[in-house]
Amino acid sequence: MGSAGEEHAAAAASSMSQHDDDITDRHGLAGVPDGFQRLWTPYRMAYIQGGQGQVKDPETCPFCQGPHRSDEESLIVHRGTTAFVVLNLYPYNPGHLLVCPYRHVPNYTDVTPDETAEVAELSQQAMRVLTHVSQPAGFNLGMNQGAAGGAGIAAHLHQHIVPRWGGDGNFFPIIAQTKAIPATLSDVRQQLADAWNSVS
Ligand SMILES: [Zn+2]
């Protein structure tokens, strides 16, 4: 199954290289997804392109660089005062959001009271908006702290908000480290951004 996973990764790499104009940086932030029902392994690109260890400072950090670009390019759903909400480029499910402080800090213990409050408020609103748009049956919320804690980009704190539906798991992640994502990131971002200020 290693070889199956590698083939999918190679196909993804090939596909992405054909759309260089749509890709904004080596971290693969944004880009324009080009189809539905793709078998897509974008999370593997991080390893192919040099691993997560490349994110050490704000200059190489997608959570620091993203806010300098347009919402569409960076997949940003909402910008707050001290924190923002962005679609995870490596979603476990459609609508998988990340709430990040703008500051490049690694640990939950590093954030200020204002940042703590806003990360919490944005997380609550993200749940309301996801519920309005896609009616998930449940959520997973959480922060992975440190590489040993499973953080993909350990240098910059981010809270995951993963909508869950009954039966959303499937065999792909087990047999081929591949997950079917049935909606494009740009479509999902637009839906959530449109709903953000109208849902309460
Ligand atoms: Zn950062």
Q: Is 160 annotated as a binding residue?
A: yes
Q: Which helix (H) or strand (E) holds 115?
A: helix 113-134
The answer to whether residue 53 is domain-embedded is yes
pTM: 0.70
For the chain, give the percent of residues with pLDDT over 70: 66
Q: Determine contact, residues 128/200, Cβ cutoff 8 Å.
A: yes
Please check whether residue 129 lies inside any domain of the structure.
Answer: yes
Helix, strand, or coil here: 163? Answer: strand
Residue 189 falls within a domain, yes or no?
A: no
How far does residue 183's CA lie from ligand 1's centre (Å)? 27
Give me ligand 1 centre to Cα 99, in Å.
12
pLDDT digit string, tens, across residues 92-146:
888 999 999 999 999 999 999 999 999 999 999 999 999 999 899 999 999 988 8
156 is in an annotated binding site: no
Whole-angstrom Cα distance, residue 25 to residue 101? 21
Q: Specify the number of domains making up the chain.
A: 1
Best-predicted range by mean pLDDT (77-81, 140-144, 168-172): 77-81
Name the residues annotated as catalytic. Answer: 158
Query: What count of Cα atoms within 13 Å lies in the side-chain half-sphere of residue 65?
Result: 16
What CATH number does residue 102 fall under?
3.30.428.10
Per 3-state DSSP, the chain is made up of helix, strand and coil in percentages (nearest 5) of 45, 15, 40
Domain that holds residue 33: 2-183
8-state DSSP, 94: T
- Is 194 among the domain residues? no
